[in-house]
Chains A and B, each alone.
Chain A
Amino acid sequence: QSVLTQPPSASGTPGQRVTISCSGSSSNIGSYTVNWYQQLPGTAPKLLIYSDNRRPSGVPDRFSGSKSGTSASLAISGLQSEDEADYYCAAWDDSLNGPGYVFGTGTEVTVL
């Protein structure tokens, strides 16, 4: 059971801007940085955004991340067909069960 909540789906036409939200709490997003992962169909996930808003080498600047309080968001500007994928936010969490890394519920992005 994920403690980070995302909308199940998002969509847009090519060139549009799409935003995905990620809602957490003080024990995860409120205390740690947020990372985002992209999972293309049939493949392993890939790190897309780290430390709230930084892109690994090779990730297009169409992808951007932000965080405020206990929520974060991922924006995809200039949406392209190859952006069709599942997107997951994630953060470390200091839960009563001990430290752990929690993933969001995931958002499926469709390019119309």
Chain B
Amino acid sequence: EEQLVESGGGLVKPGGSLRLSCAASGFSLSNAWMIWVRQAPGKGLEWVGRIKMKIEGETTDYAAPVKGRFTISRDDSKNTLYVQMNSLKTEDTAVYYCTADRTVTTDYGIDVWGQGTTVTVSS
């Protein structure tokens, strides 16, 4: 069974940093576009960013609110995805979902979701 397990969430002060990890099992994330999605308390889903496969140059794309502050990376040898979050703001408070698009196209959607890890930015 395909599974994604996030870790690293917690409480951080505004301006601080946090790194989230996501371990994949049941499939190789080397063959997937890996995507972070977040959901603020009581709000809808928000795409954070994506990292393409190694053969695609591990190209990254980010949503405007996090561009320049968040960095997504992957270690295919460890089957693990990361997001380094710097200069955190209170509006970054959310549940962060690690997700995978194993079809690596724009047509088929995000087919694997983690259970989420909570990030709270507060003084």
Pair A33/B111 contact, Cβ less than 8 Å: no
Pair A100/B61 contact, Cβ less than 8 Å: yes
Q: Does B46 lie at the interface of the complex (its beta carbon under 8 Å from any beta carbon of A)?
A: yes
Pair A46/B45 contact, Cβ less than 8 Å: no
Q: How many residues of A contact B (CB 8 A)?
A: 27
Q: Does A25 lie at the interface of the complex (its beta carbon under 8 Å from any beta carbon of B)?
A: no
Q: Is chain B's interface secondary structure helix, strand, loop, or mixed overall? A: loop
Tell me the smallest distance from the CB of A31 to a CB of chain B, in Å. 9
Interface string of B45-72 (1 = CB under 8 A from A): 1110010000000000111100100000
Q: Does A106 lie at the interface of the complex (its beta carbon under 8 Å from any beta carbon of B)?
A: yes
Pair B113/A45 contact, Cβ less than 8 Å: yes
Chain A residues packing against B (C-beta within 8 Å): 2, 32-33, 35, 37, 39, 44-47, 50-51, 56, 86, 88, 90, 92, 97-106
